[in-house]
Amino acid sequence: MDREVQVWREGRAGRIRLNRPKAFNALNLDMVKTIRAAVDEFGADPAVHVILVDTLERWFCSGGDVRMLHAGAVAGDASIAESFFGLEYAMNQAIADLRKPYVAIINGLCMGGGVGISVHGSHRIATENALLAMPETGIALFPDVGASYALPRMPGALGMYLGLTGARVTGADAVHTGFATHFVPSGQIAALSAAIVRDGVTAIAEYAAPLPPFTLAAERELIDRAFGQDSVNGIIATLEADGGSFAKAALAQLRQHSPSSVHWSFEIIRRGAARDLAGCLAAEYDLVCQIAMSAEFIEGVRALLVDKDKSPKWQPPRLEDVNPATIAALFAPRPR
């Protein structure tokens, strides 16, 4: 049971447990393959009534193994990104296609690829320790793993706000945004897991706690007004015109990230509102195969995760300087 992903049957449940603690459960290719195989196996097994995904540590999954992808990009090897993202996105779709309950218990950090193995399932349990985010614009990627489907379907413009700024939501706020479906105190998780194994998902209602108020409730009007604009420049102008503390903080977050990434992330999230999940994942794959080999991505990972100087040299350096034609070219039809 020392594998990076542990898989077993217990009672009515097929169990999947992430077990790569030294890497904060970041997904590598073998982990993606193992999760996909388990989803397929449990999905087809009539003795399995529910699939339960969890971890033992105070984190769920920090995302994909970005260092691996960075090394491939630096070496000029596009096959690493193509293979990893192709298999990861197919796994995301397989989770969404399940005809039986899929329960993810999020009791800690859940970012990027961690959202991909939770948000497409039928039941997502968040505790007060849950911390969820799509921080990809900080390393010049974009919210992927089907996030271009999930984010536009959040209330108002919350999804665009979370996708562009990489802002984190914690605890019950994950339910208010739509990242999660239920809020359960961490002290009840062991009992809840045992109940799910014994009784299936009907047990969740017994343990779900009432939701406290949404901590962003007072900011919703501004979020919807600003991040509901039809361009990144419109978002910037609205936030600058508001001038309040929340607007300034959101602007600071946007300006800290790759300007190009903010623009291409805006575009794929905007387009995702009119696509089904399969269409979103196909579009994400087309885009990520270009972005993951770009100098902007290499620089973002270098600055934040490799050298850790946190001083990326973005090109261009300002949101206002990004050429719309450059962004449009990324979304031009590509041969498959």
Residues assigned a catalytic role: 64, 113, 136, 144
Q: In what order do the strands lie in the sheet with 169-170?
A: 59-61, 109-111, 131-133, 169-170
* Type of residue numbered 212: P
Supply the Cα-derived Rg of the chain in whole angstroms: 19
Q: How many CB atoms are located within 10 Å of the residue 309 CB?
A: 9
Residue 279 is encoded by which pair of tokens? 């269409």
Measure the CA dihedral 209/213/219/222, to 10°.
Answer: 70
CA-based nearest residue to 56, from 3, 102, 20: 20
Residue 182 is encoded by which pair of tokens? 């239920």
* Type of residue numbered 169: V
Classify strands 59-61 and 131-133 as parallel, antiparallel or unpaired. unpaired
Cα angle 110, 269, 274 (rounded to 5 degrees) comes to 120
In this structure, what DSSP letter does residue 27 have?
B
For residue 125, the SS3 value is strand
Residue 50 is encoded by which pair of tokens? 């529910």
